[in-house]
Amino acid sequence: MAATDGDRIRGGEASLGHPGDMVGLIDRNVEALIKRREEEKAATSREEKVADAITAFAGSMKFVYLHLVLYLGWIVINLGWLPLPRFDPTFVVLAMVASVEAIFISTFVMISQNRMARQADQRADLDLQISLLSEHEITRLISLVTDMAKRMEVPAAQDPELRELAKNVAPEHVLDRMEETERKLDAQTR
């Protein structure tokens, strides 16, 4: 029996699929992304892992239910509704506990967000690099195809837009143009 693509993937071998099929390329890219995420996870410091775990718990319904039970119990006991001794009749300690908890939870959330922002910046940089490489490759292809079309005397090869598309685009010029356009739009809305 022949191995399926799924069998080859599970076995660690990227599937090549059929000629013209993108399955092998997609599998390779997915496997590379998964491997990269696993490497990033392994490189995460113990402190960041603790911050992530606390943030994950603080953002869960278990956290909400736990706090409902704890704070409701605290309030019910200290209102004197149960035959238990009141330990915080003015709720000052409750306010202090809630404030300190909020300080620590917000700090842990910010630690996790900073790490996620660094990862997002790295991914955005990767996207930009891939886009720049793709733009350069497409520009080169346009030049080659236009040259071939001219040699074959294809009338479309004389399209002036092709000459414009065959020019390399400097990313800093694009950024300058974007900023200039944003300033103009901001000036118009004021």
* Residues ≥6 apart with Cβ < 8 Å to 76: 82
* pTM reported for the whole predicted model: 0.65
Which tens digit of pLDDT belongs to each residue from 67-103? 999 999 999 999 999 999 999 999 999 999 999 999 9
Which tens digit of pLDDT belongs to each residue from 113-167? 999 999 999 999 999 889 988 988 999 999 999 999 999 999 988 888 888 888 8
